[in-house]
Structure 1
Amino acid sequence: MKFSIVITTYNRLDLLKRAIDSALRQTIPCEVVVADDCSSDGTQEYLSYCREKFLESGNFRFVYHRNQVNSGHAATVNAGVLKSSGDWIKFLDDDDYLAPNCLEEMARAIALRPQAVIASCMAAQINEHEVELSRTPQLGAGLAFYTPQADIHYGMLLELLPFGTPVQVACRRDVFLKTGGWDSQLDTNCDDIDSWINIAKFGDAIFINQCLTYRTIWQGACNHKFSLSRRLKTNSVMKEKIYSLVSEKHYAHIPALKDIQNYLKLHWLLVALKQKNLQSFNSIIFSAIPAIFSWQAWSLLFHALLNRRNFSSTQIQKYVLIK
């Protein structure tokens, strides 16, 4: 099993160096592919120098790709994967980084479940000074477990199986290419989640209950450029897509789609209140009035909050790989 770490970057050279360093320090051999979205801050010169140094030493594991024009995050991910040669792709944005044993632990779990097509792990949320703010919750029992394909979309729909952001996720390269890659129309607004949904059609999922990745929470993050109302709209589109893919084994207990959409409105309305974002609150409140008076929506919101703290569901099969 060979891993390729695909790092996407655009005008963040200082942060990029940290991401590359974490990729090169992995405890198992891997290929490192840096896909540059036509940066203008010295990134090209730095990466060209790095590539030459590796080539001079006879090491071909460092690959540099530069878009001819600025094409967006999704297109840059796709370009990086096309340039890679690994069996599995580990995604990494330039403002995030990996623990040294990230790939080793992922490879160990994947080897125990060859039917897996996607894997995810816990992440630490850090600030710009690398101070840990929080961690994503543990899911299920054991250090690693897998969930069969037939249960994945139901788990995603009810947020019982959150794969997380790119820094947490790896997938099989052949399956990624089979799905057509990331959708540029969603660029940085659920393009990753859309990809996880598509990949999960083709096999099982692995979840690793170890903190192996670090995600930076800062004002320069891509998701800060989208309004909460736009994120609500895209989130709703993702839920509709997942809903259509849920296995028939779950039809007897699946919530109505309108209740899920109402739950999303409640969620983002509360996010706007928490952030004291009056503009977003006003843009959501009128469409959320039916949700406010829906006990089904409040029930889904309550269970979603509970699931983030205590992963448990009799409807989702979980098989421990590593105790």
Structure 2
Amino acid sequence: MKFSVVISTYNRLDLLKRAINSALNQTIPCEVVVADDCSADETEVYVKSLGNSVIYHRNEVNKGHAATVNAGVTKASGDWIKFLDDDDYLAPNCIEEMAKAISLHSSAVICSCIGSQVDSNEQELSRTPKVGPGLAFYIPQADIHYGMLLELVPFGTPVQVACCRDTFLKTGGWNPQLDANCDDIDSWISIAQFGDAIFLNQCLAYRTIWTGAYNQKFSLLKRLDTNILMKEKIYALVDHKHSSYLPSLKNTRNYVKLHWLLVALKRRQLTELLKMIDGGILSPIAWWVLVTATLSRRLNYRNSHLNKFVLIDDREANNVSKVWEHGKA
């Protein structure tokens, strides 16, 4: 199995150097591709100075984040793609741990891990939650979209995620029309139609939280609207086995509105908060979905409806076995 780390970049040379170093210094060899969205700084000079250790692609004109990621994947030759934005970086053993888990579950098409949110000084601010027990946790394809709908399956941002290259290309890649506003989530939704998911309960990825991040240019209202579009897309893909306890699409939309209203309240963005208020946020079912999803995440998903989970731990590294069989609530 060959991994390619695809690093998308635009005018962030100082940060890009850290991202490239984290890819080049992996504990197992991997291909490193830098996809440059026509930077105006010294990015091209620097990357070319690295010689054959890095494959370099430069857009002739600025095309945006999604199109640049697609171009980088096209240049890559790995069986699996590890995504990496220029302001993020990987733990040295990220690729090794992902490759180890993927090799034990050949039907997987997407893999994620715990991510650490760090500030500009690389000081940790928070971590994404653990998913289930063990070091590697598999979710069958038929359960993924239901889990995504209720945020019980949080693939996360590009720095956390890897996917099968052939599957990525089959889905058409990232949607340039979304460009940094859920373009990654939109891709995860599509990829998950073609195989199982893997989660690694190890912190292998570092995401920088700063004012220059791509998603900071979007208002909360814009992000709310796009999140509703994502939920609608996921809803249509939920396997029929979950239909008896699936919230209605209307209540799903209300749940998303409620979530982003609380985000606006937490950030004290009162103008946007007032624009989000409507009768839907009073829906008892929307509140039930929000509370259930929150509690399920905090309890490592013991209360979720997902079933047939598979665990790998250090003692059974060569013996994949089913460990959970949840009933339907």
Match of 1:40 in 2: 40
1: CA distance between counterparts of 2:293 and 2:72?
Answer: 34
- For residues 213 and 248 of structure 1, the distance between their equivalents in structure 2, rounded to whole angstroms, comes to 34
What is the aligned-residue RMSD (CA, Å)? Answer: 0.9
1:317 to 303, 308, 326: 308
Alignment of 1:150-161 (within 5 A): 150-161=142-153
In 1, the alpha carbon distance for the partners of 2:73 and 2:231 equals 26
Q: How does 1:125-140 map to 2 (within 5 A)?
A: 125-140=117-132
Between the aligned partners of 2:291 and 2:124, the Cα distance in structure 1 is 27
Structure 1 contact 122–137 (Cα < 8 Å) conserved:
yes
Q: Supply the distance in 2 between the matched residues of 1:317 and 1:102 (Cα, whole angstroms).
A: 26
1:132 partner amino acid: E
Aligned to 2:289: 300
Residues 85-116 of structure 1 deviation map (CA, whole Å, 9 limit, x = unaligned): 00000000000000000000000000000000
Asked if residue 166 in structure 1 is aligned to residue 162 in structure 2, the reply is no
In the TM superposition, residue 315 of structure 1 has moved relative to its aligned partner by 3.1
- Contact 1:155 1:316 (C-alpha < 8 Å) held by counterparts: no
Residue identity in the other structure for 2:147: G
* Bigger mean CA offset, 305-314 vs 25-34: 305-314
Q: Is 2:240 the partner of 1:251? A: no
The answer (yes or no) to whether the contact 1:122–1:210 under 8 Å persists in 2 is: yes
Matched-pair contact (CA < 8 Å) for 1:125–1:135: yes
Q: Within 2, Cα distance between the matches of 1:307 and 1:195?
A: 25
Of 248, 265, 279, the residue aligned with 1:273 is 265
Distance 1:50 1:15 in 2: 16
Q: How do residues 110-125 of structure 1 correspond to structure 2 at under 5 angstroms?
A: 110-125=102-117
Q: Which runs of 5+ in 1 are unaligned?
A: 55-60
Deviation at 1:284? Answer: 1.1
Aligned-residue offset at 1:283: 2.0
Counterpart residue identity of residue 233, structure 1? D
Conserved? CA contact 1:120–1:168, under 8 Å: yes
For residues 1-323 of structure 1, the aligned pairs below 5 Å read: 1-51=1-51, 54=52, 61-285=53-277, 289-310=278-299, 311-312=301-302, 313-323=304-314
Specify the SS of the correspondent of 1:186.
coil
* Pairwise CA distance, 1:307: 2.4
Aligned partners of 2:11 and 2:41 also within 8 Å = yes
Quote the offset at 1:253 in angstroms: 1.0
Q: Distance in 1 between matches of 2:43 and 2:275?
A: 39
C-alpha deviation, 1:84, in angstroms: 0.3
CA contact (8 A) 1:88 1:170 kept: yes
Q: Distance in 2 between matches of 1:78 and 1:266?
A: 33
Q: Distance in 2 between matches of 1:305 and 1:317?
A: 21
Q: Counterpart amino acid of 1:21?
A: N
Q: Deviations over 1:40-76 (max 9, x none)?
A: 111111112123xx3xxxxxx5200000000000000
Alignment match, 1:58: none
When the two structures are superposed, what TM-score results if normalisation uses the length of structure 2?
0.93
- Cα distance in 2 for partners of 1:65, 1:315 equals 41
**Hey, what does 1:57 align to over in structure 2?**
none
Query: Is the 1:122–1:138 contact (alpha carbons within 8 Å) kept by the matching residues of 2?
Result: yes
Q: Aligned-pair distance for 1:232?
A: 0.5
Secondary structure of residue in 2 paired with 1:134: strand
CA contact (8 A) 1:36 1:67 kept: yes
Percent of pairs with identical residues: 67
* 2:79–2:166 Cα contact (<8 Å) kept: yes
Amino acid corresponding to residue 28 of structure 1 in structure 2: I
Deviates more, 1:82-91 or 1:264-273: 264-273
Normalising to structure 1: TM-score of the pair? 0.95
Runs of 4+ with deviation above 6 angstroms: none
Q: Secondary structure of the equivalent of 2:56?
A: strand
CA shift, 1:290, in A, is 1.6
**Mind listing any 5+ residue stretches in structure 2 that lack a counterpart?**
315-329
